[in-house]
Amino acid sequence: MVVIARVLELPRELRDAVYMHAWDFDEDKDPNRDLLYWWDSFDDPWFRKDDDVSKSPWVKGFYRFLRPPHFVDKAFVGEQFAKEALMQFKDGVGRDLRPTGERNPVAECRLMDTSLGEFVNKDIFGLGLTLEELVRNLDLRINFIPDAVPALLMADDMNAYLSDVDHSVTALLTIPYTNRIITHNEHSRHFQTRPRIIDLAICHEANFEDELLMCMLKLVARAYHGLRAKGFTVKIHYRSEVIKLGLLFEDDVWDWTEDDWRVNLTARNTLITPRFPITSRKRRLQAIVWKQIRDYLFEAPNEKVSPS
């Protein structure tokens, strides 16, 4: 705190230089990714209480490192330093895409389907800032994982999970539209402004023939159409290693003809390889998933899901 007090006496432009240095990354550290990957672990303890003074007070094990950097924790650095450091992150993240060494700078924020409520609403640092506010210059990738509810779970458990995702989608649809600003790409200094890309990724390895996928696709559809209506560029990824089906749906899907829908199941599948032919069972399951994607994502866009 003695060091922090001296930093806070500096003119603002010099303080900003300190914060920029703190967020800088190299092969050994990347505080930007630490914040984005482990933001929901911010409330976990750094230290543990132990009567044995010979033991380290640090929380043991690898998991103590799975958290945002300590210089945005007001318990370490005070409210002013932490908030100014976070605002430096907000103003700079995602603008300069030049690689440094073997690490590329952060270009997107990845989220799980059930974490969107906290992403949008939680003041995670206790400073009046949500993660959603901090990453408005990043693209988003949201992972929907129907396999989180195994087929053997009771119906009440499935409904509770779908209800959580439904509330998450509701929260997601409240975010304001913002452009993505890039000041330097990997090739040259070039100012670029474009709509943010939101990638809705469905990761699916089980339960291909039950109603869970249908319910999940309806929730993804609500997010997809609501975000597109706001002006975001929205993409949908579907991936299943089990049935060897990898698909990307972009805006051109709305121009597909009936022939396109028949052909593209194979033509757009990125997981087909000549060395590993698809079994008849996998082809049958691919066709089931393909039909559900068409029916619930691209032909029934306005139906709201009731998890029950």
- Counting residues of the chain whose pLDDT is more than 90, the rounded percentage is 64
Mean pLDDT of 205-217: 87
Answer yes or no: pTM beyond 0.85: yes
pLDDT band of 53, cuts 50, 70, 90: low
How many whole angstroms separate alpha carbon 256 and alpha carbon 208? 25
- C-beta separation of 100 from 29 below 8 A: no
Rounded alpha-carbon distances, angstroms, from residue 41 to 84, 111, 136: 21, 13, 21
In this predicted structure, what is the pLDDT of residue 61? 47
**CA 117 to chain centroid:** 12
Using the predicted structure, report yes or no on whether residue 292 has a pLDDT greater than 90.
yes
pLDDT digits (tens, 9 = 90+) for 60-112: 544 556 778 989 999 889 999 999 999 999 999 999 888 776 677 889 999 99
Q: Tell me: pLDDT of 305 over 70.
A: no
Q: Is the pLDDT of residue 127 over 90?
A: yes
Q: Which of 16-30, 79-93, 150-164, 275-289 has the highest mean predicted lDDT (pLDDT)?
A: 79-93
The answer to whether 233 touches 141, Cβ cutoff 8 Å, is: no
* Burial class of residue 49 (count of CB atoms within 10 Å of its CB; 0-12, 13-18, 19+): exposed
The candidate with the shortest Cα–Cα distance to 303, out of 193, 223, 234, 228, is: 223
User: What was the pLDDT predicted at 65?
Assistant: 62
Domain boundaries, the chain: 1-92, 106-308
pLDDT recorded at residue 56: 60
Please check the confidence at residue 245 and state whether its pLDDT lies above 60: yes
Mention every residue, 6+ apart, whose C-beta is less than 8 A from residue 227.
172, 173, 198, 234
